[in-house]
Amino acid sequence: MKTILRLGSAALGLITTCGLLRAEPLKIAYSDWPGWIAWEIGIQKGWFKEAGVEVDFQWFDYVPSMDAYVAGKVDAVCMTNGDALVTGATGKPSVGIVINDFSNGNDMIVAAPGIGSIKELKGKKVGLEEGFVEHLLLLTGLEKNGMKLEDVTIVNTPTNETPQVFASKAVDAIGAWQPNSGQALKAVPGSKPVFTSADAPGIIYDLLYVSPESLEKRRDDWAKVVKVWYKIADYMRDEENLDDVLKILSARVKISPEEYEPFLKGTYILTLDEALKRWEKADGLGSVYGSSKVVDDFNVRFKVYEKPQDTAKYLDPSLTKALAAGK
């Protein structure tokens, strides 16, 4: 009997080892935010294979990408630090291992012609994805202008539909990020951004969030992904590569390179050194910890979810720090 058990366990061990050897590619969901479109450079240049990690980047619309993560269809998803808390509080927790960028103007509240400021939005309809990043941006804008949640009516609109909805005049303003906000600005001549993430830099960080199980099981592979990211960040920083970068990125979202170029300013891609500073634990929006705390308070106050989240649990700088130490 014992021999059979031993044989059995040996066979089991063999099977699991085989499973590990033929490791599945890491499935990563990404969407049309300029900071995440940047992964495309690594994908197209074959840098992941070079680094010895199999990845399967899957292109989604933003909210469906988080749905896919919650449903367990992917191992990781690109989210803002705020939406990671929302997804964690209502669906499935995750751990951020790479800070891609902070939003520096590409997230916008775009208002119809004739509306010149946030204050003039009082009593108007705003189309955005309820409970997610642009909602947070709008609420921040309202609060900065001494207004209340009830001063505007939110119309739940998928971000990639906002340009059409805005052009149809069904709403007076929309909340969206580039390239969607740019499409909206173009679709309605005379419209303009009344509040952008540049007015509150650091309120929105964009990260790669990994499922805790996958991070535990395949830490080495994720470390390689982090390494490739900083190769991408360095490549983008070099002005000589600008045309190549623009070509790859603009093709992903099917606009022209000229139209894409202004986005680079609105999404501040962090290099390794800059990212390390943002990983330091501190209060305030200069640190991803501080920012997440601010957003968490905010979400609870505005009842996006009920209980405050343990924000530190959502963040793991160890892979980034290890990479910096190894250099």
Partner 1 sequence: MARPGILRDWFLIRRDLPHRRRLALAAVSFLLPITIWCVVSYVPWIWHPDVKIELSAEREGVTTVFTAGDHVSPEFFPEFQAAVRAENKAVLAAREAGNPESGAKRKNQKLLRQLAPVAIGNGWLAYDDAQNDAVLYPLWGDLATGRKTAAKPALTAENLQIVRANWELLAAASPVFAFAKLPDEPLLKLIPQGRPANPVYLPAPHEAIRAGIRDFTAAAPAGEPTMFERYKRSLRIILLGFLWSCVIGIPIGILCGVFDFFSRLFEPFVDFFRYMPAPTFSTLLVAVLLAGDAPKIALVIIGTVFQMILVISKTTRLLDPSLLEAAQTLGAKPRQILGRVVIPGIMPNLYNDLRILLGWAWTWLVIAELIGVKSGLTEFIETQGRFRNFDRVFPVIILIGVTGFVTDQILSWLHGLLFPWAGKSGAFSRGVAGVVTWPIRMVAEGARERIAANEAYSRTNPRDKTR
Q: Name which position in 213, 220, 243, 283 contacts partner 1 (CB under 8 A).
A: 243
Say whether residue 238 binds partner 1 (CB under 8 A): no
With contacts defined by CB under 8 A, how many residues of the chain interact with partner 1?
32
Helix (H) or strand (E) holding 176: strand 173-177
- Beta-carbon-side half-sphere exposure of residue 319 (alpha carbons within 13 Å): 25
Range 45-52, long-range pairs (CB < 8 A, 24+ positions): 47/228, 47/231, 47/232, 48/224, 48/225, 48/228, 51/224, 51/225, 51/227, 51/228, 52/224
Q: At 168, give phi and psi (nearest 5°).
A: -80, -5
Write out the binding residues for partner 1, residues 263-282 only, by CB under 8 A: 263, 265-266
Nearer to partner 1, 167 or 322 (CB): 167
Say whether residue 46 binds partner 1 (CB under 8 A): no
**Strand, helix or coil at 263?**
helix
Say whether residue 175 binds partner 1 (CB under 8 A): no
**Strand, helix or coil at 261?**
coil
Q: What is the DSSP string of 196-232?
A: EGGGSTTS-EEEEEE-HHHHHHTHHHHHHHHHHHHHH
Q: Smallest Cα–Cα separation from 270: which of 295, 314, 234?
A: 234
**Strand, helix or coil at 269?**
strand
Say whether residue 168 binds partner 1 (CB under 8 A): no
Helix (H) or strand (E) holding 14: helix 2-21
Say whether residue 146 binds partner 1 (CB under 8 A): no
Say whether residue 183 binds partner 1 (CB under 8 A): yes
Nearer to partner 1, 167 or 282 (CB): 167
Say whether residue 317 binds partner 1 (CB under 8 A): no
Q: Smallest Cα–Cα separation from 94: which of 322, 316, 275?
A: 316
Say whether residue 145 binds partner 1 (CB under 8 A): no
Q: Name which position in 31, 178, 291, 311 contacts partner 1 (CB under 8 A).
A: 178
Say whether residue 56 binds partner 1 (CB under 8 A): no
Write out the binding residues for partner 1, residues 187-206 only, by CB under 8 A: 187, 189-190
Say whether residue 162 binds partner 1 (CB under 8 A): no
Q: Name which position in 149, 155, 251, 324 contacts partner 1 (CB under 8 A).
A: 251
Nearer to partner 1, 94 or 191 (CB): 191
By the criterion CB under 8 A, which residues form the site for partner 1? 44, 58, 71, 73, 105, 160, 163-164, 178, 182-183, 185-187, 189-190, 239, 242-243, 247, 251, 254-259, 261-263, 265-266
